[in-house]
Amino acid sequence: MKIFAYGCRPYDEMSCFEKYSSLFGLDVKCTKQSVSEDNIYLAEGSEYVSVLTNPITDTMLDSFKSIGVKMIGTRTVGYDHIDCKYAKSIGIKISNSSYSPDAVAEFTLMLSLMSLRNMKRIIQRSSINDFTLKGLRGCNLSERKIGVIGTGTIGKRYIELLKGFGCEIYAYDPSPEEIEGVIYLPLKDLFSTCDLFSLHAPLRSGTRHMINSSSLALMPEGSVIINTARGGLIDSNALIDALNEGKIAACALDVIEDEFDLYYYNRKADVINNKPLAILRDMPNVIISPHIAFYTSKSVDDMVRNCIQAFINDEAGGENPFRIV
């Protein structure tokens, strides 16, 4: 079985690919280059292609098909960067990967606490020897009503972690489950009931901009928003307006709209064409991190292993829990 992996980071993923190719006796070739229309040819001769979050256009899918690729596996949980419907229509299978939800859930909890305790302002001030208190008074997490949007793998783990803090926990999910200590509400009621919102839903046409001027208007004054899911869930311009008005007191964004050609690259010498990012990053009550919630040693190992496992399952022809289409 021949696998070609794009965007393979030499400083962490490469050793995982080496470990698992030797463990499973596979022929795996890797490149540091992110997948693009210009380097599809590198995968020639491989039936299985592994990618990260760079968009895979329909033209690229056609090109992969023409060189005999059977399956494209993304080493991520989210797969909104691949047009799965089109892939299916031309006979290319798509798989994703999975890893322990702890990394993202713990990071989300950290951002929740940092936002409530004004941690960005505290770090900024103390780094220039400003040790004043004014403007730094925080809120206890235990006093907050948390609204968890999406109670899948990560949302549920975040809820478990929250339970230790004694806060009220509410949730919205189109497929609700029985979770002890959690009250499900219709989305509009969740927006008007809670005052800290954490997003854990996938990005789909129905969830794009689910946080918009109308939903922000429903939230109590001084609410906090944490997004470690996908940038497209939030209308960034509406969020900026709500922050300017004080409606939203703080937010933390591990993901942002149009991040794909920024995150994980060194763009410090470039003019960046992302106005919302520039405005949000400048605000003392907005924490920006570069889509890094997942990034622990355990997660990286799991992502590579499970991407390879999806290919092995496909080759074996049995159950494949990682297959999307």
Question: x/- contact string, 158-197, with ligand NAI (CB under 6 A)?
Answer: --------------xxxx----------------------
3-class DSSP assignment, residue 149: strand
Which window, 30-38, 83-91, 144-152, 274-282, contacts ligand NAI (CB under 6 A)? 144-152
Q: Per CB under 6 A, which of residues 5..44 are in contact with ligand NAI? A: none
Minimum Å distance from CB 277 to ligand NAI? 16
Q: Per CB under 6 A, which of residues 97..116 are in contact with ligand NAI? A: 104
Measuring CA to CA, which residue among 259, 256, 247 is closest to residue 280? Answer: 256
Identified binder of ligand NAI from the candidate list 13, 195, 235, 254, rule CB under 6 A: 254
Q: How far apart are the C-alpha atoms of 284 and 148, rounded to whole Å?
A: 24
Q: Is 149 in the site for ligand NAI (CB under 6 A)?
A: yes
**Has 259 been annotated as catalytic?**
yes
Identified binder of ligand NAI from the candidate list 74, 95, 207, 306, rule CB under 6 A: 207
Count of residues that interact with ligand NAI, criterion CB under 6 A: 28
**Has 209 been annotated as catalytic?**
no
Q: How far apart are the C-alpha atoms of 92 and 85, rounded to whole Å?
A: 10
- Which residue bears the tokens 């925080």? 138
Minimum Å distance from CB 157 to ligand NAI? 8
Q: How far is CA 65 from the centre of its chain?
A: 28
Q: Is 153 in the site for ligand NAI (CB under 6 A)?
A: yes
CA-based end-to-end distance of the chain: 20
Q: How far apart are the C-alpha atoms of 24 and 41, rounded to whole Å?
A: 25
User: Pairing state of beta strands 248-253 and 286-288?
Assistant: parallel
3-class DSSP assignment, residue 237: helix
CB atoms within 10 A of CB 318: 8
Q: Is 201 in the site for ligand NAI (CB under 6 A)?
A: yes
Identified binder of ligand NAI from the candidate list 21, 96, 118, 151, rule CB under 6 A: 151
Catalytic positions are 230, 259, 291
